A and B are shown apart, each in its own frame.
Chain A
Amino acid sequence: MTKWLSISDVKEKIAATSAEEVTASYLELIGKSSINGYTCTSDGALDTAKMVDKGEVAGPLAGVPIAIKDNISTKGLATTCSSKILEGYVPPYDAHVIERLKEAGAVILGKTNMDEFAMGTSTESSCYGVTLNPWDHERVPGGSSGGSAAVVAAGEAPISLGSDTGGSVRCPAAFCGVVGLKPTYGAVSRYGLISYANSLEQIGPMATCVGDIAAVMDVIGGYDARDSTSIDKKIDHQAALVDDVKGLKIGVPDEYFGEGVDSGTEKAVWDAINKYEEMGASWENVSMPNTKYALAAYYTIAMSEASSNLARFDGTRYGPRNDGENWHVMASRTRAENFGKEVQRRILLGTYALSAGYQDKYYLKALQVRTLVKQDFERAFANFDVLMAPTMPLPAFKIGEKVEDPLSQYLTDVNTVPMNLAGVPCISVPCGSSDGLPVGLQIIGNHFDEATLIRAAYSFEKNTDHNKARPGEVA
């Protein structure tokens, strides 16, 4: 049975059998899956695995299967952002992270389901329908990288890539009980990531253990001239896999435990913080007063950037094209018919926030509030090594529960968006459960201090059993 293997388990299995056999067993599991985690599988997966077996492909991830979020460009493999407007689109090039993964010998299994254009917290806005949470099929897997988290939680891939604009890696990681990292802004090239809100988003890995997160980051991280926001700083993630938090100073921001935080979630997170104290770390409360404005600032900025980034989907260069007597009518119809409702809402709101007369009131104001949110983090990191909080204020919600009222879904992002505004790295690790559903502990670090994050997360994993919990075999 090929379920829930770590990268080192996969390598052992390849040594005992073959890369081809390992990939074939994953493809078989995917074929029988009932969670709708993949949007497509790759015809080339077995070929790559065979090349690994022949020794034609080597590298740190040789033969290791990986699932890729559907907004990361893969040459020759459909990439649609789970949107009708990119139906049939096959990228003529690979994203930077895909080039790196291929050089490292990884086997791309397929593309994973997501909220359309990464806009959502539930994967319900996908044109392919929702992905089911492997822990409870009546619940959402989180989003927007819901497919990437669910397939790892279900054992249908050992590792995956997602993208995180306002929590889109951490939220589904928490809801599905896996580990997910959002790197420092600029640490991973966005070349080939189809933009939603470019000043906020980063590609990040998901896995069943912290060691695998570090292994993937050592492959995909680093400078790339094709992303003008890429920053040239070398981080050795795997060197940070050290079980030692003695003397670690933890800040616990009061504002992240506000009203609306589910009591089971709060308890699991405090148990984790107390565990750290037992392990030799210390903690203190810290106030981050601008947190309460972060959500409004985040959505204003994200929607404004989206209205500009998604202008390219107009029926001209790719995707379906509707009829119209001129280009404007063609584009307006193509976009009305092929963008989903949530994407249309965000484009309209972003266009409004950037339109004449409103730009200073909404967009500029939000950028100023962003500065204040960032300063909260700067003050906190002057005194603490890491901050800890619940990743999500509640466990996975029911499918359909938050579809009709968009604002109710936006509010669940309250603990994940401030880090994207500030560009700081953060990781969600399993820390227990609430009503039988996984809870994620969010650990937040200073810019480019992924090493401390990984050390803290790894130590927790080594000293607790939370990351060994797996969903039951739901039929």
Chain B
Amino acid sequence: MITKDEVEHVGWLARIEIDDAEAEDYAVKLSSVLDYFGQLDEVDTDGVEPTYHVADIMNVFREDVVTPSLDQKDVLTNTAEEKDGYIKAPRII
């Protein structure tokens, strides 16, 4: 069971603004899904390694050489606000 307060906290962590009424609705809908996830508790996983992904590869290295990349102008075409070749965003703090 996830409470309304927890929904609001998670909303902040996920950077999704949630008002009071929405938090109530989420608490109900998310709880039913979490209950369902709870069935994983039945499984005995002692000593079982986690599978992060199925391909048996760990680190993929490449030579540190310069290769062509996207043009700065092309990268900036989709931003809401641009200044002097940079993406402009509101202050962080």
Which A residues contact B (CB, under 8 angstroms)? Answer: 88-90, 92-93, 185-186, 199, 225, 228-229, 231, 290, 293, 296-297, 299-300, 307, 311, 314-321, 324-333, 335-336, 339, 344-345, 347-349, 351-353, 355, 362, 364-372, 374, 406-407, 410, 421-423, 447
**Which residue of chain B has the shortest Cβ distance to A332 in the bound complex?**
B17
Query: Are B93 and A326 in contact, with the CB atoms below 8 A?
Result: yes
A350 to chain B, nearest CB (A): 8
Q: A89-B78, A328-B92, A331-B15 are in contact. Are A368 and B29 (CB under 8 A)?
A: no
Q: A92-B75, A344-B16, A352-B10 are in contact. Are A315 and B80 (CB under 8 A)?
A: yes
Query: Are A355 and B40 in contact, with the CB atoms below 8 A?
Result: no
Is B64 an interface residue when CB atoms closer than 8 A count as contact? no
Q: With the chains together, A360 CA to B91 CA distance in Å?
A: 35
Q: With the chains together, A231 CA to B51 CA distance in Å?
A: 17
Query: Are A321 and B80 in contact, with the CB atoms below 8 A?
Result: yes
Q: A317-B78, A318-B79, A423-B55 are in contact. Are A335 and B37 (CB under 8 A)?
A: no
CB-based closest 6 A-B pairs:
A423-B54, A367-B50, A92-B74, A368-B45, A321-B80, A318-B78
Q: With the chains together, A307 CA to B30 CA distance in Å?
A: 15
A366 to chain B, nearest CB (A): 6
Query: Are B14 and A347 in contact, with the CB atoms below 8 A?
Result: yes
Mask of B74-91 contacts with A, CB within 8 angstroms, 1/0: 110111110000010111
Query: Are A332 and B16 in contact, with the CB atoms below 8 A?
Result: yes
Query: Are B14 and A348 in contact, with the CB atoms below 8 A?
Result: yes
Partner of A349, one of B17, B33, B41, B70: B33
Which residues of the partner chain A approach B71 to less than 8 Å between Cβ atoms? 92
A406 to chain B, nearest CB (A): 6
Which residues of the partner chain A approach B29 to less than 8 Å between Cβ atoms? 345, 406
Partner of B10, one of A92, A332, A339, A355: A355
B88 to chain A, nearest CB (A): 9
Q: A93-B70, A351-B13 are in contact. Are A225 and B62 (CB under 8 A)?
A: yes
A289 to chain B, nearest CB (A): 10
Q: With the chains together, A366 CA to B48 CA distance in Å?
A: 11
Which B residues contact A (CB, under 8 angstroms)? Answer: 2, 6-7, 10-18, 26, 29-30, 32-34, 36-37, 39-43, 45, 48-55, 57, 60, 62, 70-71, 74-75, 77-81, 87, 89-93
Q: With the chains together, A456 CA to B73 CA distance in Å?
A: 49
Query: Are A407 and B32 in contact, with the CB atoms below 8 A?
Result: yes
Which residues of the partner chain A approach B6 to less than 8 Å between Cβ atoms? 352
Which residues of the partner chain A approach B48 to less than 8 Å between Cβ atoms? 368, 371-372
Query: Are B13 and A355 in contact, with the CB atoms below 8 A?
Result: yes
Interface SS of chain B: helix, strand, loop or mixed? loop
Query: Are B41 and A365 in contact, with the CB atoms below 8 A?
Result: yes
Which residues of the partner chain A approach B13 to less than 8 Å between Cβ atoms? 351, 355
Q: A326-B93, A352-B2 are in contact. Are A332 and B34 (CB under 8 A)?
A: no
Which residues of the partner chain B approach A315 to less than 8 Å between Cβ atoms? 80, 89
Which residues of the partner chain B approach A228 to less than 8 Å between Cβ atoms? 57, 60
Q: With the chains together, A371 CA to B53 CA distance in Å?
A: 10
Which residues of the partner chain A approach B51 to less than 8 Å between Cβ atoms? 367-368, 370-371, 374, 421
B86 to chain A, nearest CB (A): 11
**Which residue of chain B has the shortest Cβ distance to A325 in the bound complex?**
B90
Which residues of the partner chain A approach B80 to less than 8 Å between Cβ atoms? 315-316, 319-321
Query: Are A316 and B87 in contact, with the CB atoms below 8 A?
Result: yes
Which residues of the partner chain B approach A89 to less than 8 Å between Cβ atoms? 78
Partner of B91, one of A326, A348, A369: A326
Which residues of the partner chain A approach B89 to less than 8 Å between Cβ atoms? 315-316, 327, 330
Q: With the chains together, A129 CA to B14 CA distance in Å?
A: 26
Contacts A199-B52, A371-B48 given; 11 further ones with Cβ under 8 A? A93-B74, A231-B57, A293-B40, A300-B37, A311-B15, A327-B92, A344-B16, A365-B40, A369-B45, A370-B50, A371-B50
Which residues of the partner chain B approach A229 to less than 8 Å between Cβ atoms? 53, 55, 57
Q: A315-B80, A407-B36 are in contact. Are A231 and B50 (CB under 8 A)?
A: no
Which residues of the partner chain A approach B70 to less than 8 Å between Cβ atoms? 92-93
Which residues of the partner chain A approach B42 to less than 8 Å between Cβ atoms? 293
Query: Are A330 and B16 in contact, with the CB atoms below 8 A?
Result: no
A263 to chain B, nearest CB (A): 25
**Which residue of chain A has the shortest Cβ distance to B12 in the bound complex?**
A332
**Which residue of chain A has the shortest Cβ distance to B61 in the bound complex?**
A228
Which residues of the partner chain B approach A365 to less than 8 Å between Cβ atoms? 40-41, 43, 45
Query: Are B14 and A351 in contact, with the CB atoms below 8 A?
Result: yes
